[in-house]
Amino acid sequence: MKPFHRAGILAAGAVVAVVSSAVAWAGWQTPTDPVTMRFKTADLPVGAQPEATVSPNGRHVTIRWAAKNIVPGVRVQYYSVTRHGAGVPPAHVCTVNATSCRDANVPAGTWTYTVHTRFETWEGVDGPASLPVTIAASAARTLDTTQAPVVPAPAAPAAEPAEEDTPPATPTIVPDPVASPSPTAADPVTTTAETPLPEIPSDAG
């Protein structure tokens, strides 16, 4: 009995599946005419070979390249420039909506540059590398800045000698001057002149 019961369940499930399938197909309408869908694709062009020129001071490099079109009438949006050198990883220089950019303060060494195209979030591949350019070590150490005139700072005041701790001066007691006695006038000298006494006549007899 169990095998028969199990088979009945499977059959019932099959009927439900067929009915459900019929209902699902009833909701679709198959068009009689064929539908044709066309997609237009385009590849980003490979970047042009750039021209690298060292600045007169030997410190910077200007990179120029030709513009590219994705299809006629649709130009590339951006260009990314990369610097390459022996023994060092590639270095991104710039991403611009133009056909030139400047690599400032380039390290000493020999370098080449490549350009790849960009449109929205799509990126092309690097084109041919530029001819190598060399930055001399002496130029790399030279700063390309205009030095402002140096205004000498006012001289700092001379440091005052450190005050030494000296004991307070002992006041000098000066005695009051003693008044000198005024010179006393000499006592007058009285000179007694001896005046001869007058002769008194004696009485006669």
Domain ranges of the chain: 51-140
Residue 4 pLDDT level (bands cut at 50, 70, 90): very low
Rounded Cα distance between 68 and 45, Å, is: 7
Over residues 58-72, the mean pLDDT reads 95
Mean pLDDT of the chain: 74
Query: Does position 29 have pLDDT exceeding 90, yes or no?
Result: no
pLDDT for 3 equals 45
Residue 76 in contact with residue 45, Cβ under 8 Å?
yes
pLDDT for 11 equals 40
Higher-scoring residue by pLDDT: 133, 181: 133
pLDDT for 33 equals 73
Rounded Cα distance between 92 and 171, Å, is: 85
Cα 9–Cα 12–Cα 13 angle in degrees, nearest 5 = 85
- 93 burial (CB, 10 Å; 0-12 / 13-18 / 19+) is buried
For the beta carbon of residue 117, count every other beta carbon within 10 angstroms: 26
**Dihedral of CA 133/136/141/144: which sign?**
negative
Q: Which of 22-26, 107-111, 115-119 has the lowest mean pLDDT?
A: 22-26
The CATH code that applies to domain 51-140 is: 2.60.40.10
Q: Which two tokens stand for residue 109?
A: 């060494």
Question: Element (H or E) spanning 114, and its range?
Answer: strand 109-119
What three-state secondary structure class fits 140?
helix
What pTM was computed for the model?
0.52
